[in-house]
Chain A
């Protein structure tokens, strides 16, 4: 499969992470092209979150190298951290702040001038449809609102690359559409988005480039059309790649449904 022609936004070499006996990420080599909408797909437990955590500096790898924009994540954090935005999955936010306070806090921590932070926060809250809830504590937000405020916090310092772990998980269709719109506008300006998901339809409709992960390894990567190949959909290609077969639906649930009543 051919590499993207654009220069690499992220270069991963021999990334490895072991939890006890199990290798969550077992030797990942990958180059993610810049300026693309990239999907990292795979079943639950494939190692997507572990990989993204190691790429963004949240988790120390056992071995391997990660470069973002040519800078090593672990030896040159100053260059890397200002260039990336992160929305992790399963970690809290500072939930006892209101949405606006959270953005104001994050922006100042990033070293942006106060009035610039406030200007950007107002626009982000508007675009993400959170203006009405901006003074409510994040602890009282719904899942969709949390993802949106997390996205706003990740975008505030205008990063070159955005890493999103399951940004659409548990999000209602309206919020999902809002998030989608913001991300599409962001990539259109030449920025890179890397997001993980296990919803193939979503990845197929959003992404220009995908990497398929299973059992801690990369199974396939490249432009969506290449990965899909001759299969009817990305879903079908994916199931074939990870080796999942449909279980025969014999007579084990023969009582279920109208006829048996």
Chain B
């Protein structure tokens, strides 16, 4: 790459022009894409498959949008779609900062580059990639869905270019303004939480789509679209509709709004870029100047917990639920989805109290792979476990932490679902079975933690298993779940029998029975797991230290 060399060593007199700089960045981006193929054959297959899948989804989206052509209120959908798309572009760098190396301009800080050619070169280079192709396809599809007539087609062409540029400039500007945060520890923590936000967000999107279906058409979107048509890049998309309707004045005004938005974004980007590249990184200075204050809640919780290993382990586990992004994600998604799924289902009228099993099921799963959650820091635990009794105490403390949150949560959650569904009669049995399930999962979780530990990669919000350990992770989770279900089967059989024989007067006994059953299952699992952990300490450390 002669140009890079030139750029790197270029003397002040022969500064590379904007055109050559642009071609350098475009070629850099192409090289990065191509290098995605130069991996191990397995990862290459994943890479190619993901590209093919994205292309397929893109094609389907486009076809779907084209099929909407002529439908009333289709412009409401396309306006909303384009704004959501732009929002996605704005948020994306916050979660995937490490995904695109060219997003971090501080890597270029040693090169003699002028800001305006740099912005133009980076903007052009960011057109290369799967994301822009996907965006372009959706926008073109949207234009085809809404453009009627020659004028509207011309406006559509302009709108497409403007919208793509707004999306890219937005992503770049947000990334540049926040790059110090994104490359810091807090930024990486945020990225790990993205899995949670996407998971919970999907539930709401799901709900929205269903309600749209229930409302009977796109007209439900009209009030939202009436606001968004004045917000770039939604304004560009609405301009196509305006031109189709013959309202050329509005179309020009809306295109103008989008153009102004684009110029403002570019100006913001340019400013942050200049400031970033010419001022020193002050993150370490800030860190040094920060007053060192004790973390709150210390005396409060610590005072209530038992002394010795049990209290120490519980306190650390509780702190990790709040402070460790990976653990936090797992807990928050369990707590949110455990209630959201049954209540959303109930709210739509086809809910059942039995959906409440989501809560104990998801929370109980947190007991699985306990030592994998420790990562290689497990050695600190290993050094203090000298006997099966120590291992039992360690596991019991962890199960107690789970129960501290899970028992009241399940009790309140199941009651709440009963309130929403109005099925108060089913409450005792579902609550009893929930406690039984929770206890069984705690017991089997302790056992599988001892027998099938695996590493949880820390950097990514989406990878929960290290390469090469997928088999053992599935074995641990599904083997455990099946065993858990089998363990609960006597109680389930009893429930069914009580219902079939019509002994409804005795159904309440399932509550104390289930609670006792769960307690015994958890205790038994912990008792069995203790000696296994004590005997397998180095093997567990090896298994959880990968990746």
Contact = CB atoms under 8 A, between A and B. Distances in A.
Contact of B295 (A60, A91, A110, A135): A135
Interface in B27-42: none
Contact of A108 (B308, B375, B382, B537): B308
Given A78-B387, A109-B381, A139-B185, A96 B311 contact: no
A95 B374 CA distance: 10
A81 interface: yes
A103 to B, nearest CB: 11
B279 interface: no
Interface in A127-145: 132-137, 139-140
Contacts of B307: 108, 114
Nearest to B539: A60
A258 to B, nearest CB: 19
Contacts of B225: none
A108 B185 contact: no
A108 B377 contact: no
A122 interface: no
B114 interface: no
A113 to B, nearest CB: 8
Contact of A92 (B320, B377, B387, B539): B377
A178 interface: no
B538 A110 contact: no
B308 A96 contact: no
Given A78-B387, A109-B313, A134-B292, A96 B320 contact: yes
B496 interface: no
Contact of A101 (B292, B319, B537): B319
A94 B537 contact: no
Contacts of A93: 377, 380
A105 B394 CA distance: 12
Contact of A57 (B292, B323, B537): B537
A92 B372 CA distance: 13
Interface string A153-182: 100000000000000000000000000000
B425 interface: no
A64 to B, nearest CB: 14
Given A81-B384, A108-B308, A111-B308, A91 B293 contact: no
Contact of B386 (A77, A92, A105, A114): A77
B323 to A, nearest CB: 4
Nearest to B292: A135
B294 A57 contact: no
B303 to A, nearest CB: 11
Interface in A67-90: 77-78, 80-82, 86, 88, 90
Contact of A97 (B185, B309, B316, B375): B316
Interface string A39-66: 0000000000000000011111000000
A93 to B, nearest CB: 6
Interface string A187-220: 0000000000000000000000000000000000
Contacts of A88: 379
A36 interface: no
Nearest to A84: B383
B273 interface: no
Interface residues of A, number: 39
A206 to B, nearest CB: 24
B284 to A, nearest CB: 10
Contacts of A86: 379, 383
Contacts of A98: 295
A15 to B, nearest CB: 14
Contact of B384 (A80, A92, A110, A139): A110
A23 B220 CA distance: 70
A81 B312 contact: no
B449 interface: no
Contact of A106 (B294, B380, B541): B380
Contacts of A80: 386
A56 B312 CA distance: 23
Contacts of B377: 91-95
Contact of A137 (B313, B323, B380, B386): B323
B287 interface: yes
Nearest to A81: B386
Nearest to A132: B292
A57 B379 CA distance: 10
A8 B313 CA distance: 35
B376 A91 contact: yes
Nearest to B307: A114
Nearest to A154: B383
B379 A58 contact: yes
A134 B542 CA distance: 30
A210 to B, nearest CB: 26
16 contacts: A57-B537, A60-B538, A60-B539, A81-B386, A86-B383, A96-B320, A97-B316, A97-B319, A101-B319, A106-B380, A108-B311, A108-B312, A109-B309, A109-B381, A135-B293, A140-B287
Interface of A: 56-60, 77-78, 80-82, 86, 88, 90-98, 101, 104-106, 108-111, 114, 132-137, 139-140, 153
Given A60-B538, A108-B308, A108-B312, 10 more contacts: A57-B382, A57-B537, A57-B538, A77-B386, A91-B379, A96-B323, A109-B380, A132-B292, A140-B185, A153-B380
Interface of B: 185, 287, 292-295, 298, 307-309, 311-313, 315-316, 319-320, 323-324, 374-377, 379-387, 537-539, 541-542, 545
The 3 A-B residue pairs whose C-beta atoms are closest, nearest first, are A108-B312, A96-B323, A78-B386
